[in-house]
A and B are shown apart, each in its own frame.
Chain A
Amino acid sequence: EVQLLESGGGLVQPGESLRLSCAASGFTFNTYAMSWVRQTPGEGLEWVSSISTGGASTYYADSVKGRFTISRDNSKNTLYLQMNSLRAEDTAVYYCAKDQTWEVPHYLNYWGQGTLVTVSS
């Protein structure tokens, strides 16, 4: 059974940093691209970032480019999102999602439960 478990969310002040983690199990992690998608309060889904199987290729939404860094540790079956210079508009539930294949982009066939990030002074 595929499981994705996010952690690392919390309350931070504007300008601070946070690192999200996503522990994956139930599939061969290093053969699938992975993504982060967020849902802001009262809004819809917004793709944030994706990473290729080996981590060499990364992709970002314009809204987070230069501030967020996606990475993965295939030896630990874990996906990360380093978020720097956080803004109030980054407040959202962040979901880790498994892409259907190694290709980016693709449809997302499994999602974690999400972790809440709140940026507020």
Chain B
Amino acid sequence: DIVMTQSPDSLAVSLGERATINCKSSRSVLYSSYNKNYLAWYQHKPGQPPKLLIYWASTRESGVPDRFSGSGSGTDFTLTISSLQAEDVAVYYCQQYFNTPQTFGQGTKVEIK
């Protein structure tokens, strides 16, 4: 199984400041034939279902604010919130869908400092 490890487990950021979450996979999730990274990011708020933010490592889902961006390739990926808003308080997960079983990172809790 591909193990997904996120860092940090939690972070507190001031409103308007940048938040950066890292995700490392135990094996590459880059499918070289398609040149695509099989990596997604989700936002999960209490009492709500998870929401897809980013797929193919860097493609923003429709309707997601452009302050959210994804980057990275192979085994190392980053989710960046460029200017943290109060409504961004949530737990964020990366997911690899390169192979079965698809696996999630342990989650990173983002709070307001």
Contact = CB atoms under 8 A, between A and B. Distances in A.
B47 to A, nearest CB: 9
Interface of B: 40, 42, 44, 48-52, 55, 61, 91, 93, 95, 97-107
A11 B98 CA distance: 35
Interface string A96-116: 000010001111111111100
B50 A50 contact: no
Contacts of A88: none
10 contacts: A37-B50, A45-B42, A95-B49, A104-B100, A107-B52, A107-B95, A108-B40, A108-B50, A108-B95, A112-B49
A23 B105 CA distance: 28
A61 B104 contact: no
Given A44-B104, A45-B104, A107 B97 contact: yes
A15 to B, nearest CB: 25
A32 interface: no
Interface residues of A, number: 23
A114 B47 CA distance: 9
Contacts of B93: 44-45
A49 to B, nearest CB: 10
Contacts of B101: 47, 59, 61-62, 105
B107 A45 contact: yes
Contacts, number: 58
A14 B45 CA distance: 30
Nearest to A60: B101
Nearest to A96: B49
A46 interface: yes
A46 B55 contact: no
Q: Which of A62, A105, A109, A110 has the most CB of B within 10 A?
A: A105
Given A105-B99, A111-B51, A113-B48, 6 more contacts: A45-B93, A45-B95, A107-B95, A108-B40, A108-B42, A108-B50
B100 A50 contact: yes
Contacts of A105: 97-102
A106 B97 contact: yes
A9 B48 CA distance: 17
Report the 5 A-B pairs with minimum CB-CB distance, sorted nearest first. Answer: A111-B49, A105-B102, A107-B40, A105-B97, A44-B107
